[in-house]
Amino acid sequence: MSKKHLQRVRRLCAALPESTERLSHGEPTFFVRKKVFAMFANNHHNDGHIAVWLPAPFGIQEMLITASPEKYFRPPYVGVRGWVGVELARVSDEELDFLVREAWRQIAPQNLQAVLETSPNRIEKTAHAKDDLASILSSMLEGLPGVNVKKSANRLSFLIGKKIFAFTQKNGVVIKLPQEKIKELVDKKTASFLVMGKREMKEWAVIEHKDPKEYKKDLKLFKEAIAFVSSKDVG
């Protein structure tokens, strides 16, 4: 069984630009330009997981584990850095492909990422006005009480305390709101559900504006997100 899942991981990793494989700590490990982007774990220290460990953007680990604890877990050693463990028997090839590609993008240098053909499943679909978006959101949100900003390779995450209420991606902003509010926005076609693999994240919406300045009109939504996250014991 573990051999079958290793072949799945190996096939997907090998398809990515400049991916190489070698053993590290006794397990097949995948690199892009000497940096690790995927680690196969075959019942590591008898923990019962046949899995792959992958880096993820800040806050995504907690989001995935909260939404689907049967599929995702916090792996040892690298879990404190935001990596996520993926139960290979519980994810489809399509979901695994999505997760592996996103992990590669977290580690690969920007000039190499241009080589990779854009996948229709990606969280980040288009690359437009990223710098303007980041500066506009930062100036708009950092001044709000209790808000702080965390920068990672490809995005900004906005937190109230230690909880994320919004983060950027190349095609817009992802924001956390009550399910009924998300449904209202989706019904009005002013937002869409955040999709991770095939799963719709019911409390996360993607808001897209062609002009980054349009996000200034969403300040009320961001304040609702802060209030919602502050009131719940969720990530």
H or E segment and range at residue 77: none
On the question of pLDDT at 163 being above 90, the answer is no
Listed as own residue / partner, the contacts of 183-191 with beta carbons closer than 8 Å and 24 or more positions apart are none
Q: Do residues 66 and 235 make contact, with C-beta atoms less than 8 angstroms apart?
A: yes
Mean pLDDT, residues 156-178: 88
Mean pLDDT, residues 190-212: 87
Mean pLDDT, residues 1-19: 90
Q: Do residues 72 and 87 make contact, with C-beta atoms less than 8 angstroms apart?
A: yes
Structural domains of the chain sorted by starting position, each given as residue range(s) with its CATH number in brackets: 2-113 (3.90.1150.30), 130-231 (3.90.1150.30)
- To the question of pTM greater than 0.85 for the whole model, the response is no
On the question of pLDDT at 128 being above 60, the answer is no
Supply the mean pLDDT for the chain.
85
DSSP assigned state of 94: H
pLDDT of residue 155: 74
Residue 19's contacts (CB-CB under 8 Å, 6 or more residues apart) are: 13, 30, 31, 32, 37, 104
Confidence bin at 204 (pLDDT 50/70/90) = very high
Confidence bin at 153 (pLDDT 50/70/90) = low
Select from 186, 229, 230, 227 the least CA-distant residue to 205: 186
